[in-house]
Amino acid sequence: MKKVISTDAAPAAIGPYSQAVEVNHTVYTSGVIPVVPSTGEIPQGVEAQAKQALTNLAHLLEAAGTSMDNVVKTTVFIKEMDDFAKINEIYAAFFTGAFPARSCVEVARLPKDVLLEIEAIAVK
């Protein structure tokens, strides 16, 4: 059975989708962007945006009853591949132990013209 997950601690969906969905003790998140949920602001710079997006992701996973420690796969969409090393540095600080599998893709444009978006699959 599918369970919809939502929280005010992560950016609200800006379209016809759920922030996350749980099926069979596995949580699938939608893409999370670096919007400050309480203000709607977008931090400046790739490091600040990476930190905000990952913080939002952590809050979304917590609302689903899991955590960053239980993430098994992420997909990171970035505006500029030249920012890969900076994003990696921030990304590494959000995970402990074995890192999840990951794909990273450079894209032409992201919602609200942010510099990155991240989605995850986590187990409970």
- For residue 24, indicate whether it is catalytic: no
Number of domains in the chain: 1
pLDDT of residue 48: 98
User: Which residue carries 């490091």 as its tokens?
Assistant: 47
- Type of residue found at 76: V
Q: How far apart are CA 98 and CA 78, in angstroms?
A: 23
**Structural domain range at position 101:** 2-123
- Model pLDDT for residues 69-110, shown as the tens digit of each residue: 999 999 999 999 999 999 999 999 999 889 999 999 999 999
- Mean pLDDT throughout 102-120? 98
Per-residue pLDDT of 7-65, as tens digits, reads 999 999 989 999 999 999 999 999 999 999 999 999 999 999 999 999 999 999 999 99
Query: Of 52, 51, 47, which is closest to residue 35 (Cα–Cα)?
Result: 52
Can you give the pLDDT at residue 96? 84
pTM over 0.85: yes
Conformational region of residue 39, where left means phi above 0, alpha means psi within -120 to 50, and beta covers everything else: alpha
CA distances from 49 to 2, 22, 85 (A): 31, 26, 14
Q: What is the pLDDT of residue 120?
A: 98
Instruction: List strand residue ranges (DSSP E) for the chain, in order.
Output: 2-5, 20-23, 26-29, 71-78, 101-106, 116-123
User: What CATH number corresponds to the domain at position 102?
Assistant: 3.30.1330.40
**Catalytically annotated residue among 104, 110, 119, 121:** 104
